[in-house]
Amino acid sequence: MVDFSQYAPLFGEALLVIMSLLIILLGCFIKSGKLPGYMSLVGLIASLGLVLTAQTGTVFFFGTISVDAFSQFFKAVFIIVSMLVVISSFSRVTGKGSDEYHSLILLGTVGMMVVASSIDLVALFLGFELASLSTYALAAYDKTKKNLEAAMKYFIFGSVSSALMLFGFSLFYGMAGSTRISDIAATSLGNFSPAALIALLFVIAGFAFKMALVPFHMWAPDTYEGAPSLVSALLAAGSKKMGFAAAFRVLFVALIALRLEWYIGFAILAAVTMTLGNLAACWQNNVRRILAYSSIAQAGYIAMAVVVVGAAANMSNGTAIAQLGIAGGLLLILAHALMKTGAFIGTSQVAAMVSGKGPDHDPDDISNYAGLSKRAPITAFCMMVFMFALAGIPPTAGYVGKFVLFSSAIYANLVWLAVLAILNSALSLYYYLRIISYMYLKEPAGPKMPESKGYVIALLITLIVVFWIGILPQTFIDWATQAAASLLPQ
């Protein structure tokens, strides 16, 4: 008889799968209403508790799934983002189709969690596809023309990235005779060959699509603008971070094994990504496109963690610097997930307020934010804090993440990259302050309107956590440092 207690560290994922199936089953027999939302929220809260209390240091399913501090960190991020999206959805998704909507959110979250735990290429790919297929459908949920166009672009680019990644995986398997990441690092990359370089380039290209790094970023602005705003929050704050979880798992193990000056290429990639993202955001009038290009710039900052690990490899205190760099990247991932989720929830609130202006009116145009502080004061204040946090202004989570990450770059003798990142953060203030000026300095674009409870609750929860990390960061720094330590070779 199977002893299921040994699988306790995976009960969080199992609970979400069961809950998603129950939601679909109940949707076949009863009117959806808000019940799927409540069930999703309860399942996510319980799953978060199971993840945070799970025993780490265990491996399952023939060495394909690892439950360690790194995987639990990312799982917590994914669940928190999904919780905020579900809470916001109480103000938007309550009618027909809400069961499919919430079930897809839960299955997408499970896929992200599988990716975070995968130490095998097959498990990694399966997790990617589960999360991707769920978010493809969610991106088309509203079924408007703009919505369907965004979903189709996301599907095509996502499929291309999966194909590139899978081709690289197949080459690695052919060379190593194994799909375990550690085995591939020990054999294929230990005896480096042109075939290994080609495989690595395909894998990096696939990950770069998922992370929206330049020049693989083309899908992000159109998808974030055209998808439902709450789904955009899930994509930017959840699905995109899944790409970083996979990249950290594979690239750190693989590239440390190479012991080449590979990090120079990543440094250039990070520098170009953050600069292009910020410059493009300065020219936008659509707030969701501004946030999309902002996400691209933030991906450039986070990619600095990979550069720091490579630069620190040959230093006497390299392990400590590499750990600090990864911890900084993880902190910025957590902070960005919260800030970007809150910002997209704010855009959803504004879009709901101006929805009656006709089909040709753009609900995300910056002009709709004029005088928002008088029309929707809670939303405006939260949006202002999130804008400052995204720019790295203290005392917010964004400041803590950038401070730790940029400091690690300086310790790794990458002063030029740290200075460029700081200058880019200063540049980003232009478009963040532009949104804030519309909200607080312009005349109201319409009368005061009630703020939906679901949006307000999600915004306030996010606001509290963003300030909590910014004012009392040590607990979160220790958490990220512990997760980073589990990723580096002992």
pLDDT for the residue numbered 250: 81
Around Cβ 368, how many Cβ atoms within 10 Å?
22
- Predicted confidence (pLDDT) per residue in 462-485, tens digit: 999 999 999 999 999 999 999 998
Q: Which domain holds residue 486?
A: 261-490
Among 277, 287, 425, 279, smallest CA distance to 345 is for 287
DSSP state of 94: -
Interatomic CA distance for residues 118 and 108, integer angstroms: 16
Q: Is residue 413 situated within a structural domain?
A: yes
59 three-class SS: strand
In contact, 401 and 335? CB cutoff 8 Å: yes
Token pair, residue 325, equals 């760099």
- pTM (2 decimals)? 0.93
| ∠ Cα 26 31 37 (to 5°) | 70
Q: Is residue 203 situated within a structural domain?
A: no
CA torsion sign for 139, 145, 149, 155 is positive
Interatomic CA distance for residues 442 and 24, integer angstroms: 46
Q: Is residue 387 situated within a structural domain?
A: yes
Q: For residue 234, what is the enclosing H or E element?
A: helix 229-234
What is the number of residues in the chain? 490
pLDDT for the residue numbered 356: 59
DSSP state of 53: H
Interatomic CA distance for residues 420 and 335, integer angstroms: 20
Q: Is residue 165 situated within a structural domain?
A: no
Label residue 103 exposed, middle or buried (CB < 10 Å: 0-12, 13-18, 19+): buried
Q: Is residue 425 situated within a structural domain?
A: yes
Q: Is residue 268 situated within a structural domain?
A: yes
Interatomic CA distance for residues 216 and 223, integer angstroms: 13
pLDDT for the residue numbered 329: 93
pLDDT for the residue numbered 150: 83
Number of domains in the chain: 1
Average pLDDT, the chain: 87
CA torsion sign for 265, 266, 267, 270 is positive
Percent of the chain with pLDDT over 90: 43
Q: Where do we find the tokens 């502080």?
A: 373
Q: Hey, which bits of 186-227 come out as E strands?
A: none
pLDDT band at 489 (very low <50, low <70, confident <90, very high): low
- With 80 as the cut, is the pLDDT of residue 360 above it? no
What are the φ/ψ torsions at residue 276 (nearest 5 degrees)?
A: -65, -40
pLDDT band at 362 (very low <50, low <70, confident <90, very high): confident
Q: Is residue 306 situated within a structural domain?
A: yes
CA torsion sign for 363, 366, 367, 372 is positive
Token pair, residue 472, equals 């009392």
- With 70 as the cut, is the pLDDT of residue 405 above it? yes
Q: How far apart are the first and last CA of the chain?
A: 36
- With 70 as the cut, is the pLDDT of residue 256 above it? no
Label residue 313 exposed, middle or buried (CB < 10 Å: 0-12, 13-18, 19+): buried
pLDDT for the residue numbered 354: 74
489 three-class SS: coil
- Predicted confidence (pLDDT) per residue in 42-61, tens digit: 999 999 999 999 888 888 88
Token pair, residue 261, equals 């000056």
CA–centroid distance for 242 within its chain: 6
Q: Is residue 279 situated within a structural domain?
A: yes
Label residue 116 exposed, middle or buried (CB < 10 Å: 0-12, 13-18, 19+): buried
- Predicted confidence (pLDDT) per residue in 143-181, tens digit: 778 788 888 888 888 888 889 889 988 988 888 888 888
In contact, 80 and 464? CB cutoff 8 Å: no
In contact, 336 and 440? CB cutoff 8 Å: no
